[in-house]
């Protein structure tokens, strides 16, 4: 094999290596990594496959292909993932934003009005909250997470988006769900909230950990070996965080405020029941593009 293959030949080499490693989307991943290394786009492979590749590009590409063959997620190699038409920084400290989660954002946007206050629990990379703020006017939000490292990623994503949208207003707080809001409530101007240490919101959104503990070992290696366990493990039945959040959410919502959850397969009935028992009405279940239950939401009265 030549030390300096052409662009097209190097791509084919990457495809073969990834297929041998059992990577499902070998062609796509090989192309995306080559574009990442060479600063090219998808047209380059079709129109300029005979393009010369430098020794440095070749070495870097082969290194990344080797890591992808070891099932390191593609997004951990490029440090980015597109979500809701935006590009987010990601790393091993946060879940990689998935297309299914866009259903949660899209449903929340249907009920989002100018000037609303949004709380995002288990915010991770911040992609849910920041997408809602990006596509609304005069809204502000708070994202909480137990992981300080995850919040560092969220804060960087916030600053990157503010370069294009300087009026965006978000705050990211470390803590266990609603407990992170304590320091904010101390400065709360709303008399009702300040009186009992609460901050009030018009909308709460969350994509909490919802994988059953016993199922995690069966997940694909990209997930179980490279994504943060604390962002996956939802307890024995996968419902631990839904119970905690629904039990407290009403105390942090204005009248008519809404709670939106992303859920896992088979959890719609249980989550709907939890919400209804906690005082939410009009609870709805929304399916994803594969026809699976993906989002549950309701209104607090």
Q: Domain 80-300 classified CATH 3.40.50.150?
A: yes
pLDDT in tens, the chain (301 residues): 446 788 889 999 999 999 999 998 999 999 999 999 998 888 877 777 788 889 999 999 999 999 999 999 999 999 999 999 999 999 999 999 999 999 999 999 999 999 999 999 999 999 999 999 999 999 999 999 999 999 999 999 999 999 989 999 999 999 999 999 985 544 444 444 444 557 899 999 999 999 999 999 999 888 888 888 889 889 999 999 999 999 999 999 999 999 999 999 899 999 999 999 999 999 999 999 999 999 999 999 8
DSSP 276-298: HHTTEEEEEEEE-TTS-EEEEEE
3-state helix, strand, coil in the chain (%, to 5): 45, 20, 35
Instruction: Give domain limits for the chain.
Output: 7-70, 80-300
3-state secondary structure of 172: strand
Please give the DSSP secondary-structure letter assigned to residue 158. H
pTM equals 0.88
- CATH class given for the domain over 7-70: mainly alpha
One fold for 7-70 and 80-300: no
């Amino acid at each position: 094999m030549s030390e300096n293959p052409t662009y097209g030949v190097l791509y084919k080499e990457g495809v073969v290596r990834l297929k041998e490693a059992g990577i499902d989307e070998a062609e796509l991943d090989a192309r995306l990594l080559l574009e990442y290394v060479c600063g090219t786009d998808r047209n380059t492979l079709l129109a300029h496959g005979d393009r010369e590749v430098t020794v440095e590009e070749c070495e870097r590409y082969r290194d990344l292909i080797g890591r992808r063959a070891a099932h390191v997620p593609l997004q951990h190699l490029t440090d980015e993932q597109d979500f809701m038409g935006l590009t987010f920084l990601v790393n091993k400290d946060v879940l990689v934003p998935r297309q299914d989660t866009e259903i949660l954002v899209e449903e929340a946007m249907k009920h989002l009005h100018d000037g609303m206050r949004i709380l995002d629990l288990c915010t991770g990379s911040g992609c849910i909250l920041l997408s809602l703020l990006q596509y609304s006017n005069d809204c502000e939000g708070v994202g909480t997470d137990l992981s300080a490292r995850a919040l560092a990623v969220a804060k960087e994503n916030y600053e990157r988006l503010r370069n294009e949208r300087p009026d965006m207003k978000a705050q990211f707080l470390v803590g266990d769900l609603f407990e992170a809001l304590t320091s904010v409530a101390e400065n709360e101007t709303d008399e009702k909230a300040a009186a009992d240490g609460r901050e009030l919101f018009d909308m709460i959104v969350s994509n909490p950990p919802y994988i059953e503990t016993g199922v995690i070992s069966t997940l694909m290696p990209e997930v179980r070996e490279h994504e943060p366990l604390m962002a996956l493990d939802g307890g024995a039945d996968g419902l631990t965080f839904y119970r905690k959040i629904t039990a407290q959410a009403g105390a942090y919502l204005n009248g008519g405020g809404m709670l939106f959850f992303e859920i896992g397969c088979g959890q719609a009935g249980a989550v709907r029941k939890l919400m209804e028992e906690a005082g939410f009405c009009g609870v709805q279940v929304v399916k994803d593009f594969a026809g699976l239950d993906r989002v549950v939401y309701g209104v607090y009265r």
